[in-house]
Chain A
């Protein structure tokens, strides 16, 4: 009796969340799919008509699309490389005994808490600006020509800014995982004469492998949709040199008002993200059972 009562109460308590998320998942996504098969431009209202796969064909054969796919991958892989390698190194460093460990930790975490638009603008103006930026001043100190980062290496600059924001995330998670490593195991390995390097390769790295996987997967989800950093620094340019898939869809929708084309692009982005999500969900699902 009582269990029946609690069970129906439980169902009632879960219902609002489920219904809201269901609506959030189905309604807009169904609309995007529907729009993606229409010829639909906001500048020409009332002219909507069924267009079959035209939008997809158009989007997939657009040279900007391939550039965007390349840039999306470059941002994801570039930032992952920097943050995972840097994160492991930093986590190992912060795990050592030192004076003022708490304060150093706080300093390292800080970039992750900065809103993306502030981070991007500060880097763009105060560091990467070829006239007034700090990097230009340092270059001049050494008698070098200041480098115009955002004009000459836009994609690399975006990667750098985003990596600065995500390095703390990787460090924090890897440090948390590192601290759960059994101290006795490390000592035992040391007793057996294992050097620092082999201890790292055979003991620490395997222990971190799960955390590294989590870092890679979660960051990938977020990095696939980097947007604000591109909007305020390069605006996708010069040309489409720093346009990723998210930015391309945004430009198609809100700058060119091409609802149909943008929707097709959005669906392609969803499919790409789902491939990554599939692996991430399996990872997290395993921890639920544990």
Chain B
């Protein structure tokens, strides 16, 4: 009897949860479906959910009209580049703070975090002028520099919380056995740290891929990543739903897949370890 009630309850919960889940996901599903419609079908009334002539025309069209691939590569270079450089700078720092903490380590960590709290708009003017005067405006290099700097505190924090969980005794033992600092890092620390580093990498690529303040303000036709390229569809002459949908689908698909793999790290990284 009790079992019956709980099965019934489970079914009700399932129906409610799925309905809400699909409603929340619907804008994305709708974008995906619309990307396979013709422009006429995209604005047809009544709209059709699945029963239309599926076409991949829009995907070809988006590429041939606006060199979509260039902007896609800009996004890849900027997000992966800034993340890798950030990791190279952050790994030694996080390692040192996790394993040789001093009295000031906590203050340093908190101070690093505080740089993340500064609103971007507070430094928009000088950054724009600096970039303009040094020729970095609308270059991939410029965007990589800025995104590395804004995400560096998150990278350090995430790595720090992961490194903290590695038992220090193992390093002590290695040191006792005469391992040098470099050997310690290569043979002992790295294998244990790889999962944490991978999670940090993943989360940061997501954050950098979706960053939409600096990319919008510091790039134009040449270096514009997908965030800025998609924004150009906001002008009235860009009002083609099917093409907008195709461009959007390609822009969000890689990150959706990456993000679904790193749900847990998302929580940890975005709360600076405050919620695990």
Contact = CB atoms under 8 A, between A and B. Distances in A.
A92 to B, nearest CB: 10
Interface of B: 6, 9-11, 13-14, 16-18, 20-22, 24-25, 27-28, 30-31, 34, 43, 45-47, 89-90, 92-93, 95-97, 99-100, 102, 106, 108-130, 149, 152-153, 156, 175, 181, 206, 209-210, 212-213, 216-217, 226-228, 230-231, 233-234, 239, 241, 244-245, 248, 251-252, 255-256, 258-260, 263-264, 266-267, 270-276
B109 A288 contact: yes
A94 B24 CA distance: 14
Contact of A126 (B93, B96, B227, B241): B241
Chain B interface helix/strand/loop/mixed: helix
Interface in A1-49: 2, 6-7, 9-11, 13-14, 16-18, 20-21, 24-25, 27-29, 31-32, 35
Contacts of A173: 267, 270-271, 275
A249 B31 contact: no
Nearest to B97: A14
B210 A113 contact: yes
Instruction: Please give me the 4 A-B residue pairs with the lowest Cβ-Cβ distance, nearest first.
Output: A277-B117, A31-B126, A13-B92, A28-B123
Contacts of B28: 110-111, 114, 122
A21 B117 contact: no
A112 B120 contact: no
A198 interface: no
A177 interface: yes
Interface residues of A, number: 104
Contact of A172 (B122, B212, B263, B273): B263
B216 A111 contact: no
A68 to B, nearest CB: 11
Nearest to B88: A16
Interface string A63-88: 00000000000000000000000000
